[in-house]
């Protein structure tokens, strides 16, 4: 049921994204500017609008792929596994206590980072939805070219 709701929300976002532009020309201008922001080196090249949109679509796909990997990661299990493995090593390891303390501190920082990423999953999902909408809009413009 939750999956259906998220698909519905994405669809609603898509409709909003397209309706946010008064004309297709304004949408095109926006995405050409977005490409300049995401791909600043392209600004010096002379490319057709279609070429620019293809590059932008590729960049949006890369961003979506990264966000999807972050969203799909089993964060809860990652933190638990690292904690269990490192805890066992700390108890059974033959290192000096000072080395164990330093290692424990470094592991703690990594676990805290993983926990922060896990806590950001709602924002990752929101960004995924937004970037999917942008990618769909770029595809729409490419089909019109």
* Tally of structural domains, the chain: 1
**DSSP code at position 120:** T
The model's pTM is 0.74
Please give the residue range of the domain that contains residue 67.
2-144
Instruction: State how far the alpha carbon of 50 is from the alpha carbons of 21, 56, 57, 113, 122, in Å.
Output: 19, 10, 10, 40, 33
Burial 54-80 (b: 16+ CB within 10 A, else e): bbbbebbeebbeebeebeeeebeeebe
What digits encode the pLDDT tens for the residues 64-121?
Answer: 999 999 999 888 788 788 878 877 777 777 778 788 788 888 888 888 888 888 899 9
């Amino acid at each position: 049921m939750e999956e259906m709701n998220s698909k519905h929300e994405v669809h609603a976002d898509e409709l909003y994204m397209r309706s946010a532009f008064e004309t297709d020309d304004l949408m095109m201008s926006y995405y050409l500017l977005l490409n300049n922001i995401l791909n600043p080196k392209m600004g010096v090249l002379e490319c057709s609008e279609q070429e620019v949109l293809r590059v932008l679509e590729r960049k949006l796909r890369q961003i979506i792929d990264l966000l999807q990997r972050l969203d799909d990661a089993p964060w809860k299990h990652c933190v638990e596994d690292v904690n269990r493995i490192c805890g066992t090593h700390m108890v059974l390891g033959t290192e000096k206590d000072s080395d164990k303390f330093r290692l424990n501190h470094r592991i703690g920082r990594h676990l805290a980072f993983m926990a922060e990423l896990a806590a950001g999953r709602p924002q990752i999902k929101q960004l995924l939805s937004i970037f999917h909408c942008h990618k769909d809009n770029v595809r729409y413009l490419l089909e019109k070219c």
